[in-house]
Amino acid sequence: MKIIHIGILGYGVVGAGVAKLLKTKKQLLESRIGTVLNLKTIADIDTKTDRGVDLGTTRLVLDANEIINDPGIDIIIETIGGKTIARQFILNALENKKHVVTANKALLASFGNDLVKAARKNQVDLAFEASCGGCMPIIKALRESLVANDIKSMSAILNGTCNYILTKISREGSNFEDALRSAQELGYAEAEPSLDIDGFDTAHKLAILNSLAHGMEINLKDIHVEGIRNITPVDIEFARSFGYTIKLLAIGKIHENYVEARVHPTMISGSNPLSYVDSSMNAIVIDADATGQTMLYGHGAGMMPTASAVLSDIADIARNIISGSKRRLPILGYPEDNIKPLPILSMEELYTKYYLRFEAQDHPGVLSKISGILGENNISIKSVHQKGRKSNGKVPIVMITHIAKEEWVQKALKQILKTDSVVGDPVVIRIEETDQE
Ligand code: HSE
């Protein structure tokens, strides 16, 4: 049986998970793939800590170049993370004609186009199933299974940390800090948790998925990103009373000459299947023309789910190698020459429904002043809710609008803030409705 030699750069949680699967699933992998996958070398700056994996004959070394420059290694797995040394190591590996597998969504979102070019130049594969949605086979779905479809829209929960926090606040009334700490203890959060809670991790994943869905270059910089720091139990309670759940969604929709790509807390009703996706779970609903709606659901983070996705890439590349057909699948789902520039809609141009919550002075005429300004800006109010008088003389006023343009809403909010009717910034949460609503 042919032997394919593998090196891993980065022996952290995911790297150790990959090593563990390569060792413990050796027989299953060999019988499924028809080749021996030999984990030859792992490189990490920490060669001392016991990761609980029996490495057998695998070498654990300090210097990544022992893998990158080893002519005997066919596939390199990058599980270091970050955008500095990981980027250089991958570029060097591609230059050395190694196939590369990475889980590094931040790197792909920022420099993926360059990595794709480098892989093309060197005629090797670059695979990244583990970069989006953990073990959900979303890359494979977009690149292969849905090849005959125009992807109309994608709507997804792609960050386990945020979903865990929102679920915990919603179910237990926890405060934000406690919920985040608990997510960190469970190992879901990034080393820098602002990547999670400020929405950037979700945006990285959306940038990658948009490219695969629509044949566009990876474009992170034009995605509108808002995180969940300002979501309070008060808004979660109000949302519940209107039949909505608040989720941090990645939304990607194709229009004739542009795409919509945004990440923000979103109110969704019970008719949206994503409203039932709780805790650290991830899910994506893809609406495509031939298939209609398809939903994938699974663990978006964690050692073994992520390692499982990395192994699926290793298996693909190994199967290519043994059948003599490298680069069988275009890296971004379309041959590089067919990838087109597609602009992302600017946020001011978005039309959607809004939940607005004001801390209003409890004075006569305040409600009519706020609704007057909204009306002057073309914003039609669907419903208004006012809770009883508070001890400090302020009352929360909540309004749900009909579909309005973001530009009008932002202009109206600025005008409302200039009046003496409200205190502090209003809370704005966009509402996403399904076709059935
Ligand atoms: N920090 C990420 C999450 C890990 O919470 O989903 C997986 O990308």
205 is catalytic: yes
Angle at the Cα of 5 from the Cα atoms of 17 and 60, rounded to 5 degrees: 55
pLDDT value of residue 437: 67
Q: What is the DSSP letter of 216?
A: B
**Which atom of ligand 1 is nearest the CA belonging to 131?**
8
Per-residue tens of pLDDT for the chain, all 437 residues: 899 999 999 999 999 999 999 999 999 999 999 999 999 999 999 999 999 999 999 999 999 999 999 999 999 999 999 999 999 999 999 999 999 999 999 999 999 999 999 999 999 999 999 999 999 999 999 999 999 999 999 999 999 999 999 999 999 988 889 999 998 888 888 878 899 999 999 999 999 999 999 999 999 999 999 999 989 889 999 999 999 999 999 999 999 999 999 999 999 999 999 999 999 999 999 999 999 999 999 999 899 999 999 999 999 999 999 999 989 999 999 999 999 889 999 999 999 999 999 999 888 889 999 999 999 999 999 999 987 666 577 889 999 999 999 999 999 999 999 998 899 899 999 999 876 66
DSSP state of 390: P
Pick the catalytic residue from 168, 205, 247, 369. Answer: 205
User: How much distance in Å is there from the Cα of 268 to the middle of ligand 1?
Assistant: 22
Q: pTM to 2 decimals?
A: 0.96
Question: Which amino acid residue places its CA nearest to atom 7 of ligand 1?
Answer: 301
* Per-residue model confidence (pLDDT) at position 391: 59
Taking the C-alpha atoms of residue 281 and residue 136, their distance in angstroms, rounded to an integer, is: 10
Ligand 1 atom nearest to 188, measured from its CA: 5
Residue 324 Cα to ligand 1 midpoint, Å, equals: 35
Closest residue CA from atom 4 of ligand 1: 301
Q: Is 301 in the pocket of ligand 1 (CB under 6 A)?
A: yes
Q: Which domains does the chain have, with CATH numbers?
A: 3-134+303-338 (3.40.50.720), 138-299 (3.30.360.10), 347-432 (3.30.70.260)
To test the pocket of ligand 1, the residue of 188, 200, 282, 310 to mutate (highest count of ligand atoms within 8 Å of its CB) is: 188
Evaluate whether 263 touches 206 at the Cβ level (below 8 Å): yes
Distance 133 CA to ligand 1 centre (A): 8
**What crossing angle do the helices spanning 160-172 and 176-185 adopt, rounded to 10°?**
130
Q: How far apart are CA 212 and CA 194, in angstroms?
A: 26
**Whole-number Å distance between alpha carbons of 157 and 398:** 26
Which spans in 190-322 are helix H?
Answer: 194-197, 200-214, 233-241, 303-322
Å from CA of 20 to ligand 1 middle: 20
Identify the pLDDT of residue 386.
81
Q: Which residues pair with 394 in a beta bridge?
A: 361
Q: Which ligand 1 atom is at minimum distance from the Cα of 161?
A: 5
Regarding the beta carbon of 218 and ligand 1, being less than 6 Å apart is answered no
pLDDT of residue 356: 97
Give yes or no for residue 189 CB within 6 A of ligand 1. Answer: yes
From 101, 88, 17, select the one nearest 51 (Cα to Cα). Answer: 17
